[in-house]
Structure 1
Amino acid sequence: MGLITPIGFFSIVQKPSDRTHDTLTVRARMRGDLAALK
């Protein structure tokens, strides 16, 4: 799923390793966008 926000573009995925921990992974096009999201 892709999310476009005022602070950046993000995608949320569930990698195979995430399934065992019941988590999701958030990815961004730019590292600074992840820092702003934090």
Structure 2
Amino acid sequence: VVSGGVASNRYVRSRLDDIVKQNGHRLICPPPSLCTDN
């Protein structure tokens, strides 16, 4: 699960997507506008 401010970071999302794809899965994250900290 990726959420909060971490999920809005483009670099983190990109790296996680690469790792997930290498393992035959798909990363699903909410849009950045919904990924905020408290």
Q: Is the shorter-chain TM-score for this pair beyond 0.5, marking a shared fold?
A: no
Q: TM-score of the superposition, structure 2-length normalised?
A: 0.24
Q: TM-score of the superposition, structure 1-length normalised?
A: 0.24
Query: Highest relative contact order (Cα 8 Å, sep 6+), 1 or 2?
Result: 2
* Between structures 1 and 2, the one with greater helix share: 2
For the pair shown, the structure with the greater C-alpha radius of gyration is 1
